[in-house]
Structure 1
Amino acid sequence: MDIYTCELDPDTKTVLRLYLFTKVQNVDVIKNNIINGIWNCAVIKASLIADPLQVAVAANKAVVAEKLNSMVTKTVFAEILYNLSLTKNISQSLNKFGIDKDNSLLFCFLITDEKNDTENIISKVEGEQRPISDLAKYSNMKDIKSLYKLNNLKGNEDIVDIIVSKMVTKNFISH
């Protein structure tokens, strides 16, 4: 199955791995496992992600912040959701991007030599695993444009570049 894998900052010795699932039936179980710290992953609403690069940038910022002990949130996975958002409000970030009632979900794993819970968690997801190349089919461009304040943008060709730029500059600029 087509998944997204990306090496993050070399100093962190971490690899990002993304899995796309649709028609997820056990959303409440997944949410409880994440909230209670049983599962070490982030679960993101696929409808709010235009491209895996968006998550890679957020994850890279998160692992670097963890390494430097400068995280804003309590966990590196919450930090990923926080980094996806333009707001500096942690609760809003987690509520907006985190698992809810959506049944199309993006599972985000941070893999190191010491830790890899991927197979254990993926095997417990009751849904259809889809190739990551199908992500665009589940992305809601209207919601993405609204979320990132891009309603005046005519096409979608530069949207990922603009989103990533806004994400990385949120600490310096008020969007």
Structure 2
Amino acid sequence: MHFSHELELFPDLTVTQILFKDVKNAAELRQNAVEGKITGALINPTMLLSPFQVLVAANKAVHLHTTGKMKTRSQFSEIIFNLSPTNNISDAFKKFGVSDGDDSVLVVLVHKKEESHLVSDITAKVDGQQVPVDDMSSLSDHAKIKKLYKVSPQEEKCGSLLDAVVCRMAIKDVM
């Protein structure tokens, strides 16, 4: 049900994504993350198109963490920030972070291979139904995503919405 991917540039690290719907304790989860009791990023999956989008953000976060150039306080908050098309940290958390009333949550973990127990630890804390990460697109709000990333209909004719989103995530540091 969860999706794990070894990072090519950091082969000792794995990014694991776990998707939940019908979540009843989003406020508690968010509070636990703020207090550091959850070692993962809690993301609103309605603003995501694909697990690949999250992998791009996580890979960038690990790289910035390794080089000491993060703009946020933790690697997990950096993942959320890297999903955003802008450099406004608080706006990134409003758009991509979990809110108290959300009923779906994507948990993103960055861990060493031998720390696979983290998946069961998180699963035990979430009061919701775990679903395959491949179902992420069924929770996506395409209209909000297009508006946030400013994707025009003309741009969608020459590439996918995911292509446009990932390009904007990648270039935000140079624009």
TM-score by length of 2: 0.91
Match of 2:74 in 1: 75
Q: Which moved more, 1:146-155 or 1:48-57?
A: 146-155
**SS state at 1:129 partner:** strand
Quote the residue 2:165 is aligned against: 163
3-state secondary structure, aligned to 1:59? helix
Alignment deviations for residues 110-153 of structure 1 (CA, whole Å, 9 cap, x no partner):
11157552211211100011111211110111111111111435
Please name the residue that 1:123 is paired with: 124
Where in structure 2 are the equivalents of 1:17-166 lying within 5 Å? 17-100=16-99, 101-113=101-113, 115-116=115-116, 117-152=118-153, 153-154=155-156, 158-166=160-168
Supply the distance in 2 between the matched residues of 1:66 and 1:54 (Cα, whole angstroms): 19
User: Which residue of structure 2 aligns with residue 11 of structure 1?
Assistant: 10
Detail structure 1 runs of 4+ shifted over 6 Å in the superposition: none
**Offset of 1:17 from its aligned partner?**
0.7
CA distance in 1, matches of 2:151, 2:73: 30
Provide Cα deviations, 1:51-108, integer angstroms capped at 9, x if missing partner. 1100000000000111111111000000000000011111111121001122111111
- Any gaps of 5 or more consecutive residues in structure 2? none
Question: Per the alignment, in what secondary structure is the counterpart of residue 11 of structure 1?
Answer: coil
Quote the RMSD (CA, aligned, Å): 1.8
Larger helix proportion, structure 1 or 2? Answer: 2
> What secondary structure does 2:43 align onto?
strand
Question: Contact between 1:12 and 1:63, CA under 8 Å: does it hold in 2?
Answer: no
Gaps of 5+ in 1: none
Report if aligned partners of 1:12, 1:67 keep a CA contact under 8 Å in 2: no
Q: Distance in 1 between matches of 2:76 and 2:115?
A: 14
Q: State the secondary structure of the residue aligned to 2:5.
A: strand
What secondary structure does 2:36 align onto?
Answer: coil
**2 CA distance for matches of 1:46 and 1:145?**
15
Q: Structure 1 residue 156: deviation in Å?
A: 10
